[in-house]
């Protein structure tokens, strides 16, 4: 587990960009944290680290899955905020992920543990421009073992 304390949006994107450089195809980056914690900002940094224009990354409003290309790997950006467990299953996320990196905001809404490599990123607001970020890469065999309890339904 790696812990960071960032003092600006830029610092958060830098942490994410360094992580992105190490990600293998098929990795899901599960993002946990309240509104304003910095999940979308972190995804912007992932994009930058993959060689994608970070300005393409927006907070998905009505789009649940966005795809950004032009980098080392495609990046899928998923926001589960408005979805329920069964609807998440219908998205077919596992297949999309295969040759890409998939960043999932509100990952606590996932109805089940994801197969394959995952990175867990917990973000917490610790002051107006301070964020605490914990990055955990569970061993693949135990992937998701330490994830939050899925909200099965
Ligand atoms: P979320 O997707 O978790 O709702 P966003 O990334 O959309 O959060 O928003 C985070 C907000 O917090 C932005 O307005 C950003 O400018 C602000 N912010 C302030 N300090 C930081 C920091 N250290 N890291 C990330 N965002 C920060
Ligand atoms: Mg967001």
Residue-wise pLDDT for 14-46, tens only, equals 999 999 999 999 999 999 999 999 999 999 999
Residue 82 CA, ligand 2 centroid: distance in Å: 12
Whole-number pLDDT of residue 85: 79
Instruction: Report the pocket of ligand 1 as residue ranges, CB < 6 Å.
Output: 6-9, 11-12, 33, 35-41, 59, 105, 129-131
DSSP secondary structure string, 20-58? HTTPPTT-EEEEE--TTSSHHHHHHHHHHHHT--GGG--
d(CA 151, CA 153) in angstroms, rounded, equals 6
Q: Tokens 């812990």 correspond to what residue?
A: 3
Residue-wise pLDDT for 101-114, tens only, equals 999 999 999 988 88
DSSP-assigned letter for residue 72 = S
Q: Which ligand is nearest to the CA of 44?
A: 1
Whole-number pLDDT of residue 60: 63
Residue 4 CA, ligand 1 centroid: distance in Å: 15
d(CA 101, CA 96) in angstroms, rounded, equals 9
Pairing of strands 75-79, 65-68: antiparallel
- 150: confidence class by pLDDT, cuts 50, 70, 90: low
């Amino acid at each position: 587990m790696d812990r960071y304390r960032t003092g600006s949006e830029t610092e958060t994107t830098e942490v994410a960009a360094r992580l992105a450089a190490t990600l293998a195809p098929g990795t899901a980056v599960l993002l946990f944290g309240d509104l304003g914690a910095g999940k979308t900002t972190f995804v912007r940094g992932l994009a930058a680290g993959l060689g994608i224009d970070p300005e393409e990354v927006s907070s998905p409003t009505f789009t649940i899955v966005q795809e950004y290309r032009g980098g080392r790997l495609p990046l899928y950006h998923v926001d589960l905020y408005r979805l329920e467990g069964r609807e998440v299953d219908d998205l077919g996320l596992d297949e999309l992920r295969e040759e890409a990196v998939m960043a999932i905001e509100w990952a606590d809404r996932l109805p089940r543990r994801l197969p394959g490599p995952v990175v867990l990123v917990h973000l917490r607001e610790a002051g107006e421009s301070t964020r605490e970020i914990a990055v955990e890469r569970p061993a693949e065999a135990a992937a998701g073992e330490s994830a939050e309890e899925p909200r099965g339904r």
